[in-house]
């Protein structure tokens, strides 16, 4: 070290404090990033909710409930409205049960 206890115009005690602060911040960022990357569990496949209830089925937003058959199925995303071959429109529920 140069004489006078300074390095590049900053006292060594200040640079040590800054290094400690910087290391703590980096550690906190890595811990927070690790926690936010934990994936949430995938919802149960729709067909496992058949013969339960509309409310149970529609907990998964990708599902369609057919009240006449009590079947829970994947919403037919290729269609705007589910075709009657899947479920009569009056009996089809998605998003909400009412």
- The structural domains of the chain, with segments of one domain joined by +, span 46-94
**Is 53:76 a contact under the CB 8 Å cutoff?**
no
Predicted confidence (pLDDT) at residue 88 exceeds the cutoff of 80: yes
pLDDT digits (tens, 9 = 90+) for 16-52: 776 777 667 666 766 565 555 667 778 889 999 999 9
**This prediction's pTM:** 0.59
- Pairwise CA distance, residues 34 & 45, whole Å: 28
């Amino acid at each position: 070290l140069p004489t006078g206890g300074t390095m590049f115009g900053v006292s060594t005690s200040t640079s040590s404090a800054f290094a400690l602060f910087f290391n703590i911040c980096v550690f906190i960022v890595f811990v927070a990033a690790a926690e936010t990357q934990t994936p949430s569990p995938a919802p149960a496949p729709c067909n496992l909710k058949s013969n339960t209830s509309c409310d149970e089925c529609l907990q998964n937003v990708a599902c369609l409930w057919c009240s006449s058959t009590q079947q829970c199925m994947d919403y037919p995303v290729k269609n705007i409205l589910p075709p009657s071959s899947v479920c009569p429109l009056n009996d089809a529920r998605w998003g909400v049960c009412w």
